[in-house]
Chain A
């Protein structure tokens, strides 16, 4: 099995953001390259790790085209702009249209994307089967469990083909079994297509390392023990180079555990 990097799929360059006069993001730059493995369709999973309040959600909103940065650019494949609607975004508390059933929530996303009623219904049916939601098709969101709600929210975002899907804290509040399912789901969404990319935000170091091929650690600098405002990418871990990507049971390997400890100790100073 050989792996190499292809073209640039996402280019975040020198993004800077101030909110109410406070500097939040200073100089955020990273690129996502197509990961190529011969004989495998390999999408990309990027984890953004960082302490609470560092600006992860704000960064996702900028990439999604919901907020404008003060300066800097976000570009997609071949330098394309990414206006709101082109990038999938699974919000932290999984908002859904409460007056529509699961099926209708999915179908709405399809018709918005320009599908015919029939196409949209067929795609919704397929996704409900894949996401184990078929028996909840006629349920209103108020009657879903947290995990079901999350799966509907993810399915809704990929009703139309999406090359880029952002997820804010997809691993929070899950028991170990559910965490495993969601991690698998994230990888499935990514590996649906060679050019697919999932960018996810999390505090969970272990899950971030296990699920992604690249981990960016966001953080601020400290001077005399005090935090200097303005987060940037402090560290990048290429899990492919380290031989830790795309492997089952990777969490048991000593290299993995060592890396997890290394990052955890750095986390305290961010």
Chain B
């Protein structure tokens, strides 16, 4: 273990053991502050744990979670398909203004769109998928189209010199060549979608889901339950993020090679 004084100096790299020690310190400190806090707005860990049990066994949180996960999976799949297609289309000048225009729609936000989207989709599950997809895809297209536009010209020239046709160039340079970055963008996007999910589920509550459950508990001022749900949302969000990271390393082992740990 490195000298602990190292941890207080700027721009130092620490070994794993010291880093772990520091993390444990912060976790313990957080719990210490929590347990000794005078405010009554924050329930004690024990209350939250009991609320979690009640939610799981009596309120059917398991199936609700499943509903939510299905929603985000559905919306993510649609987002990926639509956004990648649109982003790759930017290599054709004719489609650039279209993609540019669609990406600008991200400034609209949900509230005003609920009504027109309800008319189009008929509400319910389809409405939620559509809203979430819209929210995620407009951001995804923005980042991804930028990445495609910024591919250095020499990469295309390099493939031309090797004698590759345009389709092969599109595949190797535009699709495969940006896959690592697409997955990075997707990772941020899934995080955004997850953050939006309670809002979207609140718009149409009939199908349930963790967001609907959260609003219910809010209405009844069940503070411990609300925190228990927030805790679950946080843990699941982190798990999704971690899974995305694993997927990136699996599909693009080259992606993390260039990154050197400080």
Residue A84 interfacial (CB < 8 Å): yes
Which of B44-52, B152-160, B215-223, B225-233 lines the interface with chain A? B152-160
The CA of A142 and the CA of B158, in the complex, are separated in Å by 17
Q: Kindly provide the distance from the CB of B140 to the nearest chain A CB, expressed in whole angstroms.
A: 20
B162 near A99 (CB under 8 angstroms)?
Answer: no
Which of A85-93, A126-134, A202-210, A246-254 lines the interface with chain B? A85-93
The CA of A91 and the CA of B156, in the complex, are separated in Å by 12
Per DSSP, are chain B's interface residues mostly helix, strand or loop, or mixed?
helix
Which of B60-68, B107-115, B252-260 lines the interface with chain A? B252-260
Residue A44 interfacial (CB < 8 Å): no
User: Assuming A85-B160, A98-B254, A113-B163, what are 13 further A-B pairs, CB within 8 angstroms?
Assistant: A66-B161, A85-B162, A87-B161, A89-B161, A91-B158, A95-B158, A96-B158, A97-B172, A97-B176, A99-B252, A140-B253, A142-B258, A157-B161
B-contacting residues of A (Cβ < 8 Å)? Answer: 61, 64, 66, 84-89, 91, 93, 95-99, 108-109, 112-113, 140-143, 156-157, 160
* A-chain residues with CB within 8 Å of residue B152 when the two chains form the complex: 95
The CA of A61 and the CA of B156, in the complex, are separated in Å by 13
* B-chain residues with CB within 8 Å of residue A143 when the two chains form the complex: 257
Residue B70 interfacial (CB < 8 Å): no
The CA of A162 and the CA of B18, in the complex, are separated in Å by 57
A112 near B254 (CB under 8 angstroms)?
Answer: no
Q: Kindly provide the distance from the CB of B157 to the nearest chain A CB, expressed in whole angstroms.
A: 5
Residue B180 interfacial (CB < 8 Å): yes
**CB contact list, B155-197 vs A, under 8 A:** 155, 157-158, 160-164, 168, 172-173, 176-177, 179-180
B157 near A91 (CB under 8 angstroms)?
Answer: yes
The CA of A140 and the CA of B180, in the complex, are separated in Å by 14
B161 near A99 (CB under 8 angstroms)?
Answer: no
A86 near B172 (CB under 8 angstroms)?
Answer: no
* A-chain residues with CB within 8 Å of residue B173 when the two chains form the complex: 97
CB 8 Å contact bits of B230-257 with A (1 = contact, 0 = none): 0000000000000000000000111001
The CA of A64 and the CA of B157, in the complex, are separated in Å by 10
* A-chain residues with CB within 8 Å of residue B164 when the two chains form the complex: 85, 112
A160-B163 contact, Cβ under 8 Å, with A95-B158, A97-B177, A108-B172: yes
* B-chain residues with CB within 8 Å of residue A99 when the two chains form the complex: 176-177, 179-180, 252, 254
A66-B176 contact, Cβ under 8 Å, with A91-B154, A112-B168, A142-B254: no
* B-chain residues with CB within 8 Å of residue A108 when the two chains form the complex: 162, 172
Nearest A residue to B161 via CB reads: A89
The CA of A58 and the CA of B195, in the complex, are separated in Å by 50
A66 near B160 (CB under 8 angstroms)?
Answer: yes
The CA of A24 and the CA of B100, in the complex, are separated in Å by 35
The CA of A124 and the CA of B137, in the complex, are separated in Å by 41
B163 near A86 (CB under 8 angstroms)?
Answer: yes
The CA of A142 and the CA of B155, in the complex, are separated in Å by 15
Q: Kindly provide the distance from the CB of A75 to the nearest chain B CB, expressed in whole angstroms.
A: 18
The CA of A112 and the CA of B167, in the complex, are separated in Å by 12
* A-chain residues with CB within 8 Å of residue B158 when the two chains form the complex: 91, 95-96
B161 near A93 (CB under 8 angstroms)?
Answer: no
Q: Kindly provide the distance from the CB of B5 to the nearest chain A CB, expressed in whole angstroms.
A: 35
* B-chain residues with CB within 8 Å of residue A160 when the two chains form the complex: 163
- Could you give 23 example pairs across A and B, Cβ below 8 Å? A66-B161, A84-B160, A84-B163, A85-B161, A88-B161, A91-B154, A91-B157, A91-B158, A93-B154, A95-B154, A96-B158, A97-B173, A97-B176, A99-B180, A108-B162, A112-B164, A113-B162, A140-B253, A141-B254, A142-B254, A143-B257, A157-B161, A157-B162
The CA of A95 and the CA of B158, in the complex, are separated in Å by 7
* A-chain residues with CB within 8 Å of residue B172 when the two chains form the complex: 97, 108
B162 near A156 (CB under 8 angstroms)?
Answer: yes
The CA of A96 and the CA of B158, in the complex, are separated in Å by 8
A66 near B163 (CB under 8 angstroms)?
Answer: no
Residue among A84, A98, A99, A108 with the highest chain B CB neighbour number at 10 A: A99
Nearest B residue to A61 via CB reads: B157
Residue among A61, A95, A157 with the highest chain B CB neighbour number at 10 A: A95
B163 near A85 (CB under 8 angstroms)?
Answer: yes
* B-chain residues with CB within 8 Å of residue A61 when the two chains form the complex: 157
Nearest B residue to A85 via CB reads: B163
Nearest B residue to A84 via CB reads: B160
Q: Kindly provide the distance from the CB of A197 to the nearest chain B CB, expressed in whole angstroms.
A: 16
B257 near A140 (CB under 8 angstroms)?
Answer: yes
Nearest A residue to B152 via CB reads: A95
* B-chain residues with CB within 8 Å of residue A86 when the two chains form the complex: 163
The CA of A91 and the CA of B160, in the complex, are separated in Å by 12
